[in-house]
Amino acid sequence: MLLTTSVGSLPKPEYLTAARSKARKGEIDRAELRRLEEQATREWIAIQEELGIDIVVDGEQYRGDMVAYFAEHFGGFKESELVRSYGNRYYRKPIIVGKVTRRRPVTVAWWRFAQSLTTRPVKGMLTGPYTIMDWSFNEHYPSRRAATLAIAELVREEAKDLERAGAQYLQIDEPAISTRPEEMELAIEALGRVTKGLKAKTLTHICYGDFDTIGPKLHRLPVDQVDLEFANRNFELLEFFRGRRFPKEIGLGVVDVHSHRIESVDEVIANLHKALKVFKPEQVYVDPDCGLKTRTPQEATEKLRVVVQAAREVREQLLNGRPRRRASVATSARRPYS
Amino acid sequence: MLTTVVGNYPKVAEGLYSTIGPIAKWERQELTDAQLEEAFREVTRQVIREQEQAGVDLVTDGQIRWDDLVRPLARGVTGFEVNGLSRWFNNNIYYRRPILHKAPARRKPILVEDYRFAAGAATRPVKAVLPGPYTFAVLSEDRHFKRLRPFALALAELLNAEARDLERAGAAFIQFDEPAIGCGKTDVKLAVEALNVALGGLKGTTAVVAYFGALDGALAALMKSKADVVGVDVVSDPKNLAALRRAKVTKALALGCVDARNTKLESVTELHARFKAVRNLVPADRLYVSPNCGLEFLPHTQAQAKLTRLVEAVRTYRTGGR
């Protein structure tokens, strides 16, 4: 219970950021960049092992944007000229220009490499079909629905290949899922096509959420676990779950990835106890709110350290008899979830 | 039948012009305020020229200085502070949410100088664009009034003062953008009440434009507002066409009929079909056609191609394309 993990991305060390920029200008070759990506992956696996993270990630040292990475490797996509994201931030948005295809596995070799470095389970990390569609232009498919379902087939093949390679946890992120309430059903249907029949534990991470929209449908997401950001909303999200029986596992984001401040172990312990009044311990996984890639490597490491220490202490308290605080509502009186 | 744009235009045309470098340099204090202003003016000149070369009848300044629809006004009005990023309606684009701490006040005109510059750089009429009071209020966090109605009405007063100043500076066409109408639960009655305050006493042509949302339920009220032109996005929600038929078009219509959120280029035939769909609703001399929203969601090449295509479709429609 209270297994620790992280959401996916970890910051790139300075040498790798520099190398990526050189590679773009053609100043170093692909092999040299690959060598540095592998070095950074090794370092992050070692750090996670040392900290005692239960389910580790490869840290996505070889990825830029979570959608563009897949668009670059799938067929049928091309890159656009710059479009603005906000302020003075721009990015190249993928354009679907033909039938989308997966010529070969995209993430499997990296997953194998990461898993070869550790005995702990490494999560397979994928971006969900709805998010890939929503964050791309579409010039080929007649509708957003058609594009989403076509992409779902590719993500499914990738998930199956990861499972075949031995991945026990498959995370399929859908941060765009709350963007258009009228398309939530489509997002659920597409995610269902990805996860159908998979034996690995499946989970999805959702953030930037308009919770009024997604909340009532969370229990219908076709995954075993839903991972949400709790810390940056001061654990107010707990109120939504209070008094209800949430039928899935819950990934509990307990440190804010947008703030430089390192949370104290005590405050995370206190928040975990609050959460345990709402969820059962065996239902809860503990992690940061979101990918840590925007923090410095030092900040990311410190935040993960706090996650592990807090989870460990609460686990010990639960096992060694500190009476578990009961939810105030008796189980039989709980409203069914919906 | 006139062609126009909704408001913003790409600020970056790779190899031609860009505000990215100048802003980054200004942030690092390598450019002075005056140098940054000159860079903004140069890009503004270019985007006006591009719209004119594409053949657009009623252009805008492209909102080259604008981070988002509400930022310039929030910055120019005391009482506001600009906060963290929020999602821009249902797009993967973000804006900074203004927070109102105390009674808002406009000390001096905010956009008038920019308008004068744009009008001087253009050979065609330049439309002045402002956020609508309802959208401005909905997109902000209000810690002062703590109720939407007085907040929206106070913003409407400020926007009205700004619009009057713009009119005095020569703007003969003033548009209020109201994307919040139809996106989520909308208090249409309040939106129109506030809009009418913002439009009070204006002598030129005025427009209200709604995009992204579902306008069934709002159009009838918008047709009764003081605006001369109602702009409707019929791309994001095609059901808006049927809503238009039900609402009866009693004003001029600005038909947002080119998808400014997807790169796929419409064919002339497709555009003719969209023009025809409103043929019986409004006479051609009361019809404007435009992209469904600002062009900034698109990369520059596609934005330009879409404008050129729109103008081509209008030209061939007029010369017997029916």
Count of positions (residues) in chain A: 338
Q: For residues B220 and B249, what is the distance between their CA atoms, to the nearest angstrom? A: 8
CATH no. for residue A238?
Answer: 3.20.20.210
Instruction: Give a yes or no: residue A94 inside a domain.
Output: no
Considering only residues 276 to 305 of chain B, which have any Cβ-Cβ distance to chain A shorter than 8 Å?
296-302
With CB atoms and an 8 Å threshold, state whether B263 touches A95. Answer: yes
Task: Give A136→chain B minimum CA distance, Å.
Answer: 9
Please indicate, yes or no, if residue A247 is contained in any of the structural domains.
Answer: yes
Give every CB contact of residue A47 below 8 A, 6+ residues apart in sequence: A301, A304
First to last CA, chain A: 25
Q: Determine, yes or no, domain membership for A262.
A: yes
The stretches in chain B having pLDDT less than 50 are 321-322
Using CB atoms, which residue from A80, A82, A176 is nearest to B92? A176
Q: Say if CB A136 and CB A77 are below 8 A apart.
A: yes
**In this complex, is the C-beta atom of B83 within 8 Å of any C-beta atom belonging to chain A?**
no
Which residue of B263, B300, B301 to mutate against A (max A Cβ within 10 Å)?
B263
The residue among B88, B92, B262, B295 with the most chain A CBs within 10 A of its CB, best to mutate, is B92
User: How confident is the model at residue A304, as a pLDDT?
Assistant: 98
Q: CA-nearest residue of chain B to A176?
A: B92
Q: Let me know if residue A75 belongs to a domain.
A: no
Distance, in Å, from the CA atom of B85 to the CA atom of A232, rounded to the nearest integer, reads 13
List, in order, residues 6 or more apart from A142 with CB less than 8 Å away: none
Residues spanned by the domain of A210: 3-64+107-131+143-336
Instruction: State whether A90 and B12 contact (CB < 8 Å).
Output: yes
Cα A1 from Cα A122, distance rounded (Å): 18
CB pairs under 8 A between A and B: 62
Partner residue opposite A137 with nearest CB, options B68, B87, B263: B263
Of the partner residues A82, A86, A139, the one whose CB lies closest to the CB of residue B299: A82
Q: Which amino acid is at B85?
A: L
- Quick check: is A201 in a domain? yes
In chain B, residues with a C-beta closer than 8 Å to the C-beta of A88 are 19-20, 23-24, 27
Strands (E), chain A: 3-4, 75-86, 89-101, 124-127, 137-138, 169-173, 201-206, 225-229, 244-245, 249-253, 284-287, 335-336
Q: What pLDDT score was predicted for residue B62? A: 98
Report the pLDDT value the prediction gives residue B320, as an integer from 0 to 100. 57
A contacts of B95 (beta carbons < 8 Å): 86
Strand partners, B176: B130, B208
Q: Which residue of chain B is at minimal alpha-carbon distance from A144?
A: B262
Chain B residues lying within 8 Å of A229, measured CB to CB: none
Contact A83 B96 (CB under 8 A): no
Inspect the interface and report whether the beta carbons of A88 and B301 lie closer than 8 Å.
no
- Which two three-digit tokens encode residue B312? 């081509």
Q: Which domain holds residue B156?
A: 2-321
Q: Give B91's contacts in chain A (Cβ within 8 Å).
A: 179
pLDDT tens for B215-270 read 999 999 999 999 999 999 999 999 999 999 999 999 999 999 999 999 999 999 99
Instruction: Report the domain count for chain B.
Output: 1
Question: d(Cα A157, Cα A123) in Å, to the nearest integer?
Answer: 16
CB nearest to B300's CB, from A81, A86, A179: A81
CA distance A332 to chain B (A): 36
Residues of chain B found within 8 Å of residue A138, distances taken between Cβ atoms:
262, 264
Residues in contact with B99: Cβ distance below 8 Å, sequence separation at least 6, in sequence order: B80, B81, B82, B83, B140, B141, B142, B143
- In whole angstroms, give the CA distance from residue B161 to residue B169: 12
Q: What is the pLDDT of residues B105-119, one digit of tens each?
A: 999 999 999 999 999
How close, in Å, is residue A139 to chain B by CA atoms?
Answer: 5
pLDDT at res. A176: 92
Chain B: closest CA distance from residue A276 (Å): 30
> Phi-psi category of B248—alpha, beta or left, where left has phi over 0 and alpha has psi -120 to 50?
left
Distance from CA of B211 to the nearest CA of A (A): 15
ipTM for this model: 0.94
- Is A98 inside a domain boundary? no
Domain containing B21 — which CATH number?
3.20.20.210
* Model pTM score: 0.93
pLDDT of residue A211: 77
Domain membership of residue A87 (yes or no) is no
**Tens digit of pLDDT per residue, chain A (338 long)?**
999 999 999 999 999 999 999 999 999 999 999 999 999 999 999 999 999 999 999 999 999 999 999 999 999 999 999 999 999 999 999 999 999 999 999 999 999 999 999 999 999 999 999 999 999 999 999 999 999 999 999 999 999 999 999 999 999 999 999 888 889 999 999 999 999 999 999 999 998 667 777 888 999 999 999 999 999 888 989 999 999 899 999 999 999 998 999 999 999 999 999 999 999 999 999 999 999 999 999 999 999 999 999 999 999 999 987 655 544 433 434 444 44
Q: How far apart are CA A169 and CA A209, in angstroms?
A: 23
What pLDDT is recorded for position A182? 87
Residue A88 lies in a domain: no
Q: Which residues of B touch A127 (CB under 8 A)?
A: none
Laid out side by side, the sheet with B205-210 consists of B2-3, B287-291, B252-258, B229-233, B205-210, B173-177, B128-131
Instruction: Please judge whether B262 and A134 are an interchain contact, meaning their C-beta atoms are less than 8 angstroms apart.
Output: no
Total structural domains within chain A: 1
- Cα A121 from Cα A115, distance rounded (Å): 7
